[in-house]
């Protein structure tokens, strides 16, 4: 059976990479995206695209029936931590309320398999590093709270089917993938991050290396880390996209609901990342020191054992140099996209 997968936010960074891998694997894909931060050109031609808000319960329900959707991968959501601190209502409205409407549309339409784009931000400031899935979830910013709230909804709905003694074949199941820091681009330079006003470190550093930014700021140099800057676990976007395809296969084969970290199990400091981008680009760019941003934990590194045991996921691109090279190559590609009619990014 050739399954049809509904991908919300499929015009975005991670969603577009996952859509392409789904198509290559043999799935049919229906992309729903309101193009708030995504780009239509990032959606492969083989996918069906509908410009729509993923929180539109009635319209999404109709699409599920029309296209015989059997599973949903939910990427659509706001992701900028500082913005979530300054405008939390925006994040609760989109990341929580709209997610609930989408989940309700799935359950109303009989879709039982749901994969959710969650975040390591649910851990807040972990008591120990690396952090595993059983660690306390104590977010320190509204973005993290919004992701955790959706995880709770999914788990409660999953539990309710069991409590109500639904047959296993009718029970709702899900996988919540807690991303660490996603970076990089397709190795052939054909696809990558084009989000306007990006805040991801590697993306911003590559923009600086390409002359698109006058300088780059390090937000906090007094953390309790070896060089005083934050440490993060960077995962290549293609490895992350493949984790979604494997999670889908897992659910379709009868797997039980899971919450899984997506990371490599080791981290790099801000200074180390900036040094690597300068190395691969052979460009020096201005770096300034700034005060800490609200909502930034000192370190976030994944314990990756569970995702390997449950999905059999083994990273293919666990190499900071490769990640930075692919991201830098993509920034040059973006200049070409800006110049082609109909291919402008929202940043253009």
Among the residues of the chain, which ranges form H helices?
Answer: 13-25, 57-66, 81-86, 88-91, 98-109, 142-163, 201-209, 237-252, 270-281, 305-311, 320-339
In the predicted structure, residue 334 carries a pLDDT above the cut 90: no
Q: Which residue, 313, 246, 328, is CA-closest to 21?
A: 246
In the predicted structure, residue 1 carries a pLDDT above the cut 70: no
Integer angstrom CA distances of residue 197 from 64, 168, 200: 33, 45, 9
pLDDT for 347 equals 34
In the predicted structure, residue 348 carries a pLDDT above the cut 50: no
pLDDT for 320 equals 98
pLDDT for 340 equals 54
pLDDT for 292 equals 92
Residue whose pair of structure tokens reads 């770096």 in the numeric block? 287
Print burial letters for 293-332: b (CB count within 10 Å at least 16), e (below 16). Answer: eebbbbbbbbbbebbeebbebebebbebeebbbbbbbbbe
Name every residue whose Cβ is closer than 8 Å to that of residue 170 and which is 6 or more positions away in sequence.
112, 161
Residue whose pair of structure tokens reads 């709230």 in the numeric block? 149
Q: What does the alpha-carbon distance between residue 176 and residue 116 come to, in Å, rounded to a whole number?
A: 5
Residue 130 preceded by cis peptide, ω within 30: yes
Residue 163: both structure tokens together = 């409590």
Q: Which residue, 37, 64, 95, is CA-closest to 50?
A: 64
Cβ–Cβ under 8 Å, residues 186 and 17: yes
pLDDT (tens digit, 9 = 90+) per residue, 167-221? 877 889 999 999 999 999 999 889 999 987 788 999 999 999 999 999 999 999 9
Region 260-281 average pLDDT: 97
pLDDT for 336 equals 61
What share of the chain has pLDDT > 70, as a percent? 96
Integer angstrom CA distances of residue 333 from 4, 27, 187, 194, 239: 31, 28, 12, 10, 21
Residue 341: count other Cβ atoms within 10 Å of its Cβ: 5
Give the model's confidence band at 338: pLDDT under 50 very low, under 70 low, under 90 confident, else very high.
Answer: low
What integer best gives the mean pLDDT of the chain? 93
Region 110-132 average pLDDT: 95
Q: Residues 143, 234, 264, 328: which is the catalytic one?
A: 143
Region 229-245 average pLDDT: 98
pLDDT for 20 equals 98
In the predicted structure, residue 345 carries a pLDDT above the cut 50: no
Q: What is the DSSP code (8-state) at residue 255?
A: P
Judge whether 250 counts as a catalytic residue.
Answer: no
pLDDT (tens digit, 9 = 90+) per residue, 191-202? 999 987 788 999
What are the chain's domains?
A: 4-339 (3.40.50.720)
Cβ–Cβ under 8 Å, residues 263 and 120: yes
Region 12-24 average pLDDT: 97
């Amino acid at each position: 059976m050739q399954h049809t997968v509904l991908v919300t936010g499929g015009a975005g960074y991670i969603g577009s990479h996952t859509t392409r891998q789904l198509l290559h694997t043999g799935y049919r894909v229906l992309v729903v995206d309101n193009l708030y931060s995504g780009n239509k050109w990032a959606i492969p031609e083989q996918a069906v695209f509908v410009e729509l808000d993923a929180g539109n319960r009635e319209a999404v329900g109709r699409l599920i029936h029309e296209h015989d959707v059997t599973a949903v991968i939910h990427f659509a959501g706001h992701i900028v931590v500082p913005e979530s601190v300054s405008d939390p209502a925006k994040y609760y409205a989109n990341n929580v309320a709209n997610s609930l409407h989408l989940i309700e549309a799935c359950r109303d339409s009989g879709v039982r398999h749901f994969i959710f784009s969650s975040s390591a931000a649910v851990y807040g400031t972990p008591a120990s590093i690396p952090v595993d899935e059983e660690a306390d979830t104590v977010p320190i910013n509204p973005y993290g709270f919004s992701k955790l709230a959706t995880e709770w909804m999914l788990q409660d709905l999953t539990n309710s089917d069991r409590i109500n003694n639904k047959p296993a074949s009718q029970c709702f199941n899900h996988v919540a993938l807690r991303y660490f820091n996603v970076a990089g681009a397709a190795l052939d330079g054909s696809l990558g991050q084009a989000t306007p006003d990006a805040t991801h470190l590697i993306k911003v550093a590559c923009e600086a290396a390409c002359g698109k930014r006058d300088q780059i700021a390090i937000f906090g140099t007094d953390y309790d880390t070896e060089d005083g800057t934050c440490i993060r676990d960077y995962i290549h976007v293609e490895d992350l996209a493949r984790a979604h395809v494997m999670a889908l296969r897992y659910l379709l084969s009868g797997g039980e609901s899971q919450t899984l970290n997506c990371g490599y199990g080791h981290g790099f400091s801000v200074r180390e990342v900036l040094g690597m981008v300068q190395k691969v680009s052979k460009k020096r760019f201005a770096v300034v020191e700034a005060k800490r941003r609200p909502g930034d934990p000192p370190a976030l590194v994944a314990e990756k054992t569970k995702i390997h045991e449950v999905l059999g996921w083994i990273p293919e691109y666990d190499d900071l140099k490769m990640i930075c090279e692919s991201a830098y190559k993509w920034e040059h590609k973006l200049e070409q996209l800006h110049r082609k009619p109909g291919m402008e990014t929202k940043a253009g």
